[in-house]
Amino acid sequence: TQDTLILGIETSCDETAAAIIRNGTEIVSNVVSSQIESHKRFGGVVPEIASRHHVEEVTLVIQEALDQAKIDIEDVDAIAVTEGPGLVGALLIGVNAAKAIAFAHDIPLVGVHHIAGHIYANRLIQEMSFPLLSLVVSGGHTELVYMKEHGSFEVIGETRDDAAGEAYDKVARTLNLPYPGGPHIDRLAQKGQPKIKLPRAWLEEGSYDFSFSGLKSSVINTLHNAEQRGEIIDAEDLAASFQESVVDVLVTKTARAVKEYEVKQLLIAGGVAANKGLRQKLDEIFGEMDGIELIIPPLSLCTDNAAMIGAAGTVLYEKGKRADYGLNANPGLEL
Ligand code: KG4
Ligand code: ZN
Q: Is 70 left (phi over 0), alpha (psi -120 to 50) or beta?
A: left
Measured from the alpha carbon of residue 115, the closest ligand is: 2
User: First vs last Cα of the chain: how many Å apart?
Assistant: 31
With beta carbons less than 8 A apart as the criterion, state whether 122 and 49 touch. no
Measure the CA–CA gap between 169 and 180, rounded to whole angstroms.
6
Query: Which residues line the annotated binding site for Fe cation?
Result: 114, 118, 304
Q: Residue whose CA is closest, atom 3 of ligand 1? A: 303
Give the strands of the sheet with 26-34, arranged side by side. Answer: 26-34, 15-22, 5-10, 78-84, 109-113
How far apart CA 102 and CA 113 sit, in angstroms, is: 18
Tell me the CA–centroid distance for residue 12 and ligand 2, in Å: 8
Which of 138, 143, 304 best tests ligand 1's pocket when mutated (most atoms within 8 Å of CB)?
138
Return the pLDDT at 29.
98
Binding-site residue numbers for substrate are 136-140, 169, 182, 186, 275
Between 182-191 and 276-286, two packed helices, what is the crossing angle to 10 degrees?
70
Q: What is the pLDDT of residue 36?
A: 77
The pLDDT of residue 159: 96
Q: List domains and CATH numbers for the chain.
A: 5-120+302-318 (3.30.420.40), 129-296 (3.30.420.40)
Q: Whose CA is nearest to atom 7 of ligand 1?
A: 139
CA of 137 to the centre of ligand 1 (A): 8
For 129-227, where are the E strands, in sequence order? Answer: 132-137, 142-147, 154-158
Per-residue pLDDT of the chain (335 residues; tens, 9 = 90+): 689 999 999 999 889 999 999 999 999 999 998 877 777 777 778 888 888 988 999 999 999 999 999 999 999 999 999 999 999 999 999 999 999 999 999 999 999 999 999 999 999 999 999 999 999 999 989 999 999 999 999 999 999 999 999 999 999 999 999 988 999 999 999 999 999 999 999 999 999 999 999 999 999 999 999 999 999 999 999 999 999 999 999 999 999 999 999 999 999 999 999 999 999 999 999 988 889 999 999 999 999 999 999 999 999 999 999 999 999 999 999 99
- Please list every protein residue whose CB sits less than 6 Å from any atom of ligand 1: 13, 138-140, 165, 168-169, 180-183, 186, 270-272, 274-275, 303-304
pLDDT of residue 131: 98
The rounded Å distance from CA 304 to ligand 1 centre is 9
* DSSP-assigned beta bridge partners for residue 18: 9, 31
CB 200 within 8 A of CB 253: no
Ligand 1 center from residue 321 Cα (angstroms): 30
CA of 183 to the centre of ligand 1 (A): 8
Q: Relative to the CA of 163, which ligand 1 atom is closest? A: 12
Q: What pLDDT does 290 receive?
A: 86
Closest CA relative to residue 121, chosen from 273, 13, 225: 273
Q: Which atom of ligand 1 is nearest to the CA of 166?
A: 12
Q: What pLDDT is stored for residue 122 in this prediction? A: 98
Give the whole-angstrom CA distance, residue 168 versus residue 156: 23
Q: Report the residue among 272, 275, 278, 304 best suited for mutation to probe ligand 1: largest number of ligand atoms under 8 A from its CB.
A: 272
Give the chain's length: 335
- What is the CA angle 103-106-107, rounded to 5? 100
- Determine the atom of ligand 1 nearest the C-alpha atom of 304: 3
Task: Give 242-291 pLDDT, tens digit per residue.
Answer: 999 999 999 999 999 999 999 999 999 999 999 999 999 999 999 888 89
Residue 278 CA: nearest ligand 1 atom is 24
Give residue 40's pLDDT.
Answer: 78
- Report CA(272)–ligand 2 centroid distance (Å): 10
Rg for the chain, CA atoms, rounded: 20
- Ligand that lies nearest to the alpha carbon of residue 39, given by its number in the listed order: 1
Ligand 1 atom closest to 114 (CA): 6
Helix (H) or strand (E) holding 243: helix 235-261
**pLDDT at res. 51:** 86
- Exposure b/e, 198-226, CB count within 10 A at least 16 = b: beebeeeeeebbbbbeebbebbeebbeee
